Structure formats: C-alpha cells, structure tokens
Chains A and B, each alone.
Chain A
Amino acid sequence: MNPVLDIRDLRVSLRRGAHLVRDVSLSVDAGEVHGLVGESGAGKTMIARAVLGILPDAIRVTGGTVRFRGEDLLRLPPKRLRSLLGREIALIPQDPLTGLNPARRISAQMTDMLRHHLGQSRGEARVNALRLLQEVQIRDPEQVLDRYPHELSGGMRQRVLIAIAFSAEPSLIVADEPTTALDVTVQKQILRLIRQMQERHGTAVLFVTHDLGIVAKVCHRVTVLHTGQVVEQGGIADIMSAHATPFTRALMDATPRYDQPADALHPVPEHVHQELRAAARRFDEANP
C-alpha cells in the first residue's frame, strides 16, 4: 500500500545555516496514526509545519521531499498546494484558545471550510456544521454554532477544532500537540474522540506530542526524535518493549504516570543526551 504521507530525508534549517531537522524520513499509511515524539526543541513541530508549509520566516526546508500521495508538497505550484491544504490535509492546532478567531462566531469559522473547499451554499454548510458538531459529541450544537469562542470551554473549543479539521474529509490530519493545553480529564476524552473520528473516516494522522503516555494510547507507529534526528522508529509494541534504544527508554522513565509516585520519575540521563548531541554534531560537520 502506498503511504499517504512519505517524508524522505527532510532537512529544515535556520536561514543562518544551523540545522533543526537532520534528514528525517517517515511515512504515514492511510488510516494510520503516526506519533512524532521528542522533547521540546527536537524538531517535531518543525516537521509538522514543513508538511503544512507554514514554517516561520527565518526557517526553511533545505533538503528532502514531502510526498503527499505521490506529489511533493515542497515543489507544488502555490495554487495546487492551496487546493490540497485544508481540503486534503488539515490541522488540529495546539491551543484551542488561539486556534479559533475570537472575533468570529463558531458558525462562520466552521462553514468557511465547507463553503470554500466544497462549494456548499450557506444553508448546506450550516446543516453540515451542525452534523459535525453532533459527531464530535457537543451538546446543544444549535446554540454552540451561534456562540463566540470565548463562550466555550477549552474542551469544547478543541472539539470544534476537531470538527473543522474533519469537515472536508481530508486524507491526512496533522495534530500538533492537540491535548497539551487541556487538563488531564479532558485530555482523555479528546484523545478518544480523535481516535474514533480517525477510524470512522479512515484518516491518516501525524500526531505530534512530547508525551509517550499519549502515544501509547492513540498511535499505531512512532518516530522518536532527538536534536532533529530519528532515534527510533517502529510499531507501538516495539517501541514500548524493552528492546527500545536508551533514549526512548529514558524518555519513558521520564513520563509521569498517575498510578505511580512522582519519585519514580527520572530525567533523561546526561550521557544519553551527550551521545545524541555528538551524533548531531557529526551530521553538521558532514553537511555544513
């Protein structure tokens, strides 16, 4: 089966030259949730942004390909890219507070996508928005449509954003730490919802997170990153097994669990970091 998203040797660098992502390759199959895990600064968000073409001004892609169903997103004409983004590739943003425009009603923000990409009329789009809100299990969807974002709770806002992401039936969704800004009880519900929606719609998801606990719950396969390099890649069972690399195991030991006391937590040992940083340096020397 051809992967929906196939990233080959992706290199992302600052304009000044320093590398942030060092030749990362990964692929996401249809209907698969692929976790992209790493500490902050590991380059996971940069990979996600490179896929979506929304890297900050000072940062650019300096090598590799990002193939979406065979088309290289990095080299598509802007018009073709615009028609793919949103329609075929959608985003679930990190912060449900800033992910919605505070000055516009939920209905306006939900129908944008439907009208713009699917060419639906105002009435059709509203009916579909209503159906989507029901699908993400929002109570009183009729009322929620007429509200402003600040009138909804964080969990409800994230449900709205999930509904928007799925609204055009994309084949790939990039979820950038979609539960980080939520409290733990809501987190669980949202994760379950993303997984349900993904299964029902057969959508591939690139799931960015720093939390291995979350990865274990929602992902089929995982790519573990450190200093912009792939440390480990594989099925969830392999990653969680004892055969994992020292860094992955250390990362697991550093993940808080609610059923264990906090003193069972260990920071990633310094020598593990140092080895990986040395590898990054060797890469930089070979690729100035």
Chain B
Amino acid sequence: MTGARLNWRIVVGGGALLVLALIAIAAPLLAPVDPLEQDLFLELLPPWWQADADPTRALGADSLGRDVLSRLIHAARPALIVAVVAGVLTMLLGTALGLLAGYMGGMIDVVISRMVDIWTSFPPVLLAIMLVALIGTGLHSVIIAIVLIDWTRFCRVVRSETLAQTEMEYIDAAVIGGLKRGAILFREVLPNVLPLVIVLLTLEMSIAIIVEAILSFVGLSVSSDSPTWGGMIAEGRQVIHQAWWVMAFPMGLILIAVLALNLLGDGLKTALDPVLRR
C-alpha cells in the first residue's frame, strides 16, 4: 500500500490512538499514585479546579478514595489489549471464512452464510454476557467472546467483496495464466479486499473497546480490583449525584478512543482505495 496519502483524519485519529497506546504502555510510570490505594479521608474528592480539591488527586477520588486519574491511566491497558487482540483475531477468523465462502461457493458458502445468519440473529451483548458467564471472567474470555461473536461482521463484507472480485475478468486471466486457486485467492483477490478489511478492523477495535466496557460494567471482565473504564463507570453510577467526575472521566476516554478509531478508519478508507487515492 505504498503511496497512500496521509489525511487529517489519519493524523488526528492515529495521533490520539498513539497517545492512548503510550499511556497504556507507560501506565506505571505515568500514574501519580497506586490506582488501588484507598484513602477514606479523600472519599469523593472533586477534581483540581473545584474548591477543596487535593493537588495530589488531579481528577478527584472515588467512593473508596482511590485516585481517578491513576485508575484511568491503568485502565487504558485492558481496553487497548482487548481492542488490539480481539480486533486482529476477529479480523483473521472472519476474513478467512469470508474469502473461503466467497471464492469456493457451493456447499462451503451455504454453510458459512447460514452460520452468519444464525449468529447475527442473537443480540450480541446478551450473547457476550452469556459466553463470558459460560467460560469464566477475565481478559481472555472477553477476547474469546468478542471473536466468537463479531467474526460475522468481517465474514459478510469480505464474502460479498470476494464474490464481486471473482466476477472480474482478471480472475479469468489468472486462471488461464495457470495460477492455482490458492494463489489466485491470495495474490489476486486478497489485495483487493484488504483495504476494506483494514477499515473494518478499526471499526472492530472500537466495538471491542465498547464491549469490554460493557462487560466490565456488569463485572464480567477482569477481576474487580484492577481498574477498567467500564468498572469505573459502574462505580461512578452509584455516586452520580454526589460525584459526577468518577463516571464522566472514563466515559470521556471511551468516547475519545472510539472516535479516534472511527476517524482513523474513515481516513484509511480514502487513503487505501486505489481509485480514490491520488
């Protein structure tokens, strides 16, 4: 994909994500205090710009007196791990099945397409909660749940795009050129499907962040003592009337992360399209 142009969406979206990633990687160095340290004297302390704030607790403290800023920073880790790992695994599974269905056709296509139909008829969040309840809580089960549920998103799009590409005469030319089916699939079809897959990946990553937040909101993600954005929202909800900041800051960060991913996806869409590019 050489020659892809940078546009402002890629710069802004990608930049914001880069900052988030750096924060997640350097969390222990950046967090001003231990995110688990409780100090009941500091209970529901307001953020710095309000009266009776504490300078060591820049974004205030939650109902157990834990530092909101430090918790936010540490919670970026599970969120981004889920986004990247679940996103990539979902992409691999869905794209492989979509290519197979679109290119092989016949019974293989029928079976995969029916599976997609059945899958998408379940409400995804409910399915995720059921799955995690079944395989147990923890980061890896959140990732497994997302992959098992969301592969259909890639599969559908990749299948229909593969079908469209297979109609093209360059595929005939490749067949006549003596290429084998596997070579045609990877060398001729895949490069034409790839831009779409990359754009979908950014979408999938933002969905993964939201799903992880939902699962940690209902307490089904990582264990409750390590901070997550969803978990913080759940805690903040109980004290929403006394301390809005406990809930508002993690919500804001989720918003920024999702927005950045969508911007990046939009930017990549124009940058990677061989016809729109130039």
The interface residues of chain B lying within 8 Å CB-to-CB of A116 are: 177-179
Are A101 and B188 in contact, CB atoms less than 8 angstroms apart? yes
- Complex: how many Å from CA A1 to CA B227? 85
Given contacts A98-B170, A100-B170, A150-B275, contact A83 B178 (CB under 8 A): yes
- Complex: how many Å from CA A87 to CA B177? 7
Name the CB-closest residue of B to A101. B170
Given contacts A93-B169, A95-B169, contact A102 B177 (CB under 8 A): no
Name the CB-closest residue of B to A95. B169
Give per-residue flags for A159-171: 1 if the beta carbon is below 8 A from chain B beta carbons, else 0: 0010010000000
The interface residues of chain B lying within 8 Å CB-to-CB of A161 are: 173
The interface residues of chain B lying within 8 Å CB-to-CB of A87 are: 178
Name the CB-closest residue of B to A84. B178
Asked whether B137 is an interface residue with its Cβ less than 8 Å from the other chain, the reply is: no
Q: How far is the CB of A58 from chain B (nearest CB, A)?
A: 11
- Complex: how many Å from CA A90 to CA B278? 33
Asked whether B37 is an interface residue with its Cβ less than 8 Å from the other chain, the reply is: no
- Complex: how many Å from CA A54 to CA B275? 28
Among A86, A98, A102, point to the contact of B274 (Cβ < 8 A).
A102
The interface residues of chain B lying within 8 Å CB-to-CB of A89 are: 176
- Complex: how many Å from CA A63 to CA B141? 58
Asked whether B19 is an interface residue with its Cβ less than 8 Å from the other chain, the reply is: no
Asked whether A138 is an interface residue with its Cβ less than 8 Å from the other chain, the reply is: no
Q: How far is the CB of A118 from chain B (nearest CB, A)?
A: 11
Given contacts A101-B188, A101-B192, A148-B274, contact A94 B176 (CB under 8 A): no
CB proximity to B under 8 Å, residues A163-200: 164
Are A54 and B176 in contact, CB atoms less than 8 angstroms apart? yes
Are B192 and A103 in contact, CB atoms less than 8 angstroms apart? yes
- Complex: how many Å from CA A116 to CA B180? 11
Are A104 and B191 in contact, CB atoms less than 8 angstroms apart? yes
Asked whether A133 is an interface residue with its Cβ less than 8 Å from the other chain, the reply is: no
Asked whether B28 is an interface residue with its Cβ less than 8 Å from the other chain, the reply is: no
CB proximity to B under 8 Å, residues A81-116: 82-83, 85-87, 89-91, 93-95, 98-104, 109, 112-113, 116
Of the listed residues B105, B106, B192, the one surrounded by the most CB atoms of chain A closer than 10 A to its CB is B192
- Complex: how many Å from CA A91 to CA B176? 7
Q: How far is the CB of B206 from chain A (nearest CB, A)?
A: 26
Name the CB-closest residue of B to A150. B275
Name the CB-closest residue of A to B106. A57
The interface residues of chain B lying within 8 Å CB-to-CB of A113 are: 177
Given contacts A82-B178, A101-B188, A116-B178, contact A91 B172 (CB under 8 A): yes
Are A99 and B169 in contact, CB atoms less than 8 angstroms apart? yes
- Complex: how many Å from CA A117 to CA B174? 12
The interface residues of chain B lying within 8 Å CB-to-CB of A101 are: 168, 170, 174, 188, 191-192
Asked whether A52 is an interface residue with its Cβ less than 8 Å from the other chain, the reply is: yes
Are A102 and B192 in contact, CB atoms less than 8 angstroms apart? yes
Asked whether B175 is an interface residue with its Cβ less than 8 Å from the other chain, the reply is: yes
Are A98 and B275 in contact, CB atoms less than 8 angstroms apart? no
Give per-residue flags for A10-25: 1 if the beta carbon is below 8 A from chain B beta carbons, else 0: 0000000000000000
Given contacts A98-B169, A98-B170, contact A86 B192 (CB under 8 A): no
Q: How far is the CB of B182 from chain A (nearest CB, A)?
A: 13
Name the CB-closest residue of B to A94. B169
Q: How far is the CB of B124 from chain A (nearest CB, A)?
A: 32
Are B105 and A85 in contact, CB atoms less than 8 angstroms apart? no
Are B178 and A85 in contact, CB atoms less than 8 angstroms apart? yes
CB proximity to A under 8 Å, residues B66-122: 105-106
Q: How far is the CB of B191 from chain A (nearest CB, A)?
A: 4
- Complex: how many Å from CA A52 to CA B178? 11
The interface residues of chain A lying within 8 Å CB-to-CB of B167 are: 98
Q: How far is the CB of B116 from chain A (nearest CB, A)?
A: 22
Q: Could you give 28 example pairs across A and B, Cβ below 8 Å? A: A52-B176, A53-B175, A57-B105, A85-B175, A85-B176, A85-B177, A85-B178, A87-B178, A89-B176, A90-B176, A91-B173, A91-B176, A93-B169, A93-B173, A95-B169, A98-B167, A98-B169, A99-B169, A99-B170, A101-B191, A103-B192, A104-B188, A109-B170, A117-B177, A117-B178, A148-B274, A150-B275, A164-B173
